[in-house]
Structure 1
Amino acid sequence: MEQLYIFMLIALFFLAVTDLVVGVSNDAVNFLNSAVGSNAATLRTILVIASIGVAVGAIFSSGLMEVARKGIFDPGQFFFDEIMIIFIAVMITDILLLDLFNSLALPTSTTVSIVFELLGAAVAVSTIKIIQANGSFADIGNYINGAKATEIILGILLSVGIAFTVGAVVQWFSRLLFSFQFEKRMKWVGGLFGGLAISAITFFILIKGIKGISVIPDSFLTVVNENQWLILLGSFIIFGLMSQIIVSMTPFSLFKIIILIGTFALALAFAGNDLVNFIGVPIAAYQSYELWHASYEATGVLPSEFAMDSLAGKVETPAYLLVVAGIVMVVTLWLSKKARSVMYTEINLARSGEGSEKFEPNFLSRIIVRASVNLNGALKMIVPSKMQEVIADNFSKPVEKRAKSSEEPAFDMVRAAVNLMVASILISIATNMKLPLSTTYVSFMVAMGTSLADKAWGRESAVYRVAGVFNVIGGWFVTAIVAFTAAAIFATMIYFGKVYALVALLLLAAVLIIRSFVVYRKAEKEKKAIAKIDRSSLITINELISESSDNISKVIGGVNNIYTGTIDNLGLQDLKKLKKYKKKLSVLEEDVDELKGDIFYFIKSLDESSVAASKFYILILDYLQDMVQSIGYISKNSYSHVNNNHRNLKFNQIRDLKRIDKRLQELFDRIKADFEQKSFENIQDIIDEHNTLLDEVSALIEKQVARIRSTETSPKNTKLYFSLLLETKDLIRGTVNLLSLFSEFHTNYSRISK
């Protein structure tokens, strides 16, 4: 009996370590994005500062551990064996859920997940107990701490609106104060802003945060509590004077100092507030085991008879566990690539200027942007023109002569400082009120609010950015629903399946985590393999030719694969495989569409004002799109024909198509190999062979016309066969046009460069 719970504790230990890893990968975005997005320091320096903050914050978090023990349910209503079922179901769910979001490179709320997992598992076990006791479901209120759970959930929901609003308001006034030429105004407003920012961060993080450290004497805490406003005023004066000295007499950037202090503060607040989400449940399970085991040795009480009333009292969290957790978090911060992926998703949504958008617009984003445009027009009619001019001057950005380099910051230091200052203060207030506020909600919504106030979302990008915000927030609501449901199901399975269900779920979690890791590594390798030139930096004609040849090689390879797979499986009437190649077509279409979407940035970055080079690149992409459209018709029509259960093509028709496919495959393989090796001497020979193949396809069309007059009886087959031949002709013509254009441009450039 005792061995089972030791096994569960060991499993919870490993689950806790894994949860720390996936949790930090998700939440690192909260305190890294502002410093990284503004290029305030090197990534190494930022990680060092954040690591110190995380390590210190881990020590501060002991007071919040009670949320896992008694914040959501009344432990006195459960026996020890039931409590352990709840805890282990919660941890399995948490790991799988967070890893899923990390793999999608989307930030989600660890607080929401842990709260709803505890709620779901507790409700499931409570319901089972009520049913077994022939009770009423109304008794669920005796088991669940409804008031506290509601308070936490409402606090999380309210934080979305509060964080967004406060972030937008503070950023608007900050920009009005500094403008985008903030270096020029630092000498007379730097001291004021620095004093306010640093004193606020210091007060809420470094002073109020020490309440969580047990070694701090109560007398000191009493002095701090009784003199809060005096301390705050003194800090403002001291840090204000120091800030003014920095901007007036030293070469150091005050904003960089504020951003690094803010990064430390937010990392500290993250660890202090969110560590409970990762290790609170395993620690509560360990403490539960200690309470039961002591009683078991004294009285022999069984796990199914030992009520957990004592868990509701004050139970001190061992300091060494917090230290170990802090070490794991710091190591993960440095090594996790998924953390970087999630971080850049948020930076991308908050960046200034245009670029490639990650999210597609949706119905809600279009309505909100349209309404905002109309509201802006109405406000312009009300606000005096003089005031509009003053505001416009402060919000006008410096004119950029060229596209931004990849080394340029996503936003400036004013916005980064506001992000960190506002987010750290809001999170620290909640932490000191013992509310496990979602750091993800707060930091993300503050960043979105400051982006909006800073006019980072222009008419060209607003609909995509708003859609991105809805995607992330929608993911949070999905987190709540899935967390509750999955935890309830897992708890029910373990309750009835005992050790067999537990082992099965642990194996499932291990398999899914390993699979997720393998899939992620594979995806990262594929990204590196198809890495393109940075279109935001200067591009030479040689790079243009190289980029174009890479694009041609990739698209030709994709078209070749889809054409062969479609023709082969059309003859076999294999609907499943035809659907597979139809999905590959979608990926190819997205790739070409992305290339066309980047035309503006590519041409703008050419180091020569060559109309011919720009025209060449546009036409290359146009021919590639024509080829993809042709293979798209072939793939979709073939899939539709088989999906509608029409008759198969005749043997002679399939044979003729396979012969064309074989010839086309050989030519496409030669093109792909030549363009991969940047060897363009044989292009004319390939063009001649394509023209010969074009004549063969024309002959097959004439042959089918003769069949119709003599033996053909199926209109559907005729329609499909003609469409395949005609689109094949278009595909070959597009290839010939593409090769001819490339050969001509390459020959002319080679002649000029000599």
Structure 2
Amino acid sequence: MMNKLSEPIVVDWRFLFGAGVIMVLALWFSKKARTVTKTEVNLARQGEGIERFDSSVASRQLVRRAVSFSKFMRRITPHQVTEFVENRFKPIPEEERDTASFDLIRASVNLTVAALLISLGTSLKLPLSTTYVTFMVAMGTSLADRAWGRESAVYRITGVLTVISGWFITAFVAFTVSALVAFGLMYGGIYGVIGAILLVIIMFIQFARVHNKREKNAEMEEPGFVTNEHDLIVNCTNEIKSSVENTMKIYKGLLDGLFNEDRKGLMKLYKIADEFHGKSKRRRAYEVLPAIQRLNPESLDTAQYYVQVTDYFYEISISLRYMTESAFNFIDNNH
């Protein structure tokens, strides 16, 4: 039986064609595939915006080392060379920019370099992940294109490290689960097959629910792109409406939980208040300044109101989180 493994394997072309069709359809219609693409584009985008990842110790250390190395290179590099390089990175004027994450030149470089690397690895019969290669090429071109500034570098690097570590963790988990499934099929027989199928169905449904919920929350937090005063007013109005609804929901639930001594309800309410606080904090930290910078000088009064509204709701979120935490601790301690 082991000798069969050394013989060439002939596969019916219809199976290969069917597998290719399924892969193409999955890449085109899968929400998870779109999420992966969205994460890659978000980390490689040119310009400001809300960062999806927080900073970490590793990213801060890497940025410090990179800044120190950059200063050292500037000291030893002739001024003429520095000026020549700087002239190659002149940004496009504000009025000529669009809402795209990056220009067609970088997109062409991403496509060409990724295709060449994948073709080279395939010709050498190397085990590689096309998604990993495409992602790392996109990160490399964004770094070379100065898409990562000092304001966003720590968050982008954290995102890259998170994605890479996620791939390695996924590989380890897949290896472990494959071993467990193999043992189950070997010793369980038909019962092991039925159990594995049921487990796959349950996990598929559960993961789909979690992913849909995560996508729904992300869409609710996704801000509108502000380019003028009208967009700012619309965005601010939507934020006020959403924040007032969340505030009333949390406050009403807080009173009901206290009167009914609902410990589980208060714990769930505290998580909602904490998410509301995190959303308000991220908007206050990452969204306000880029939105104001894109406005005309004539819209400064509107920008001031926008800053005040954002700051007020941030303070409200702090109060709500403190109130729900105190109420939960009060009931949790059986007072």
Counterpart residue identity of residue 550, structure 1:
N
1:353 has 2:44 as partner: no
Distance change >3 Å, CA 575–CA 496, structure 1 → 2: farther
Return the structure number with greater relative CO, CA threshold 8 A, min gap 6: 1
1:621, distance to aligned residue in structure 2 (A): 1.4
1:612-691 map, 5 Å:
612-643=301-332, 645=333, 647-648=334-335
1:323 has 2:3 as partner: no
Range with greater deviation from structure 2 (606-615 or 311-320): 606-615
1:392, distance to aligned residue in structure 2 (A): 1.2
| Matched residue, 1:454 | 145
1:653-732 map, 5 Å:
none
Give the Cα separation in 1 of the matches to 2:314 and 2:321.
Answer: 10
What TM-score do the two structures reach when normalised by structure 1?
A: 0.42
Give the Cα separation in 2 of the matches to 1:397 and 1:530.
Answer: 29
Native 8 Å contact 1:422 1:446 kept in 2: yes
1:577 has 2:271 as partner: no
Give the Cα separation in 2 of the matches to 1:633 and 1:433.
Answer: 59
| Matched residue, 1:365 | 59
1:491 has 2:182 as partner: yes
Could you list the per-position Cα deviations for residues 473-532 of structure 1 after superposition, in whole angstroms to 9, with x for gaps in the alignment? 111121122112211222222323222232122112112213333444455556556765
Distance change >3 Å, CA 449–CA 606, structure 1 → 2: closer
Range with greater deviation from structure 2 (515-524 or 447-456): 515-524
Counterpart residue identity of residue 446, structure 1:
V
Give the secondary-structure state (helix, strand or coil) at the position aligned to 2:298. coil
Native 8 Å contact 2:50 2:283 kept in 1: no
Give the secondary-structure state (helix, strand or coil) at the position aligned to 2:189. helix
1:421 to 103, 112, 131: 112
Give the Cα separation in 2 of the matches to 1:430 and 1:602.
Answer: 43
| Matched residue, 2:291 | 602
| Matched residue, 1:563 | 251
2:136 to 408, 429, 445: 445
Give the secondary-structure state (helix, strand or coil) at the position aligned to 1:395. coil
Distance change >3 Å, CA 530–CA 632, structure 1 → 2: closer
Distance change >3 Å, CA 533–CA 415, structure 1 → 2: closer
Q: How many residues align?
A: 334
Aligned CA RMSD, in angstroms, stands at 2.3
Could you list the per-position Cα deviations for residues 639-685 of structure 1 after superposition, in whole angstroms to 9, with x for gaps in the alignment? 22334x2x42xxxxxxxxxxxxxxxxxxxxxxxxxxxxxxxxxxxxx
Native 8 Å contact 2:48 2:290 kept in 1: no
Give the secondary-structure state (helix, strand or coil) at the position aligned to 2:70. helix
Give the secondary-structure state (helix, strand or coil) at the position aligned to 2:313. helix
2:4 to 310, 322, 325: 310
Give the Cα separation in 1 of the matches to 2:166 and 2:220.
Answer: 30
| Matched residue, 2:208 | 517
Native 8 Å contact 2:229 2:299 kept in 1: no
* Consecutive unaligned residues in structure 2, runs of 5 or more: none
Give the Cα separation in 2 of the matches to 1:413 and 1:552.
Answer: 37
1:390 has 2:79 as partner: no
Native 8 Å contact 1:539 1:605 kept in 2: no
1:76-475 map, 5 Å:
307-401=1-95, 404-406=97-99, 408=100, 410-475=101-166
Native 8 Å contact 1:575 1:642 kept in 2: yes
Could you list the per-position Cα deviations for residues 144-165 of structure 1 after superposition, in whole angstroms to 9, with x for gaps in the alignment? xxxxxxxxxxxxxxxxxxxxxx
Native 8 Å contact 2:46 2:147 kept in 1: yes
What TM-score do the two structures reach when normalised by structure 2?
A: 0.90
Give the Cα separation in 1 of the matches to 2:82 and 2:222.
Answer: 44
* Consecutive unaligned residues in structure 1, runs of 5 or more: 1-306, 649-754
Give % identity: 37
1:356, distance to aligned residue in structure 2 (A): 1.4
Could you list the per-position Cα deviations for residues 194-221 of structure 1 after superposition, in whole angstroms to 9, with x for gaps in the alignment? xxxxxxxxxxxxxxxxxxxxxxxxxxxx
Native 8 Å contact 1:346 1:444 kept in 2: yes
1:608, distance to aligned residue in structure 2 (A): 6.5
Give the Cα separation in 1 of the matches to 2:88 and 2:68.
Answer: 22
Native 8 Å contact 2:270 2:325 kept in 1: yes
| Matched residue, 1:698 | none
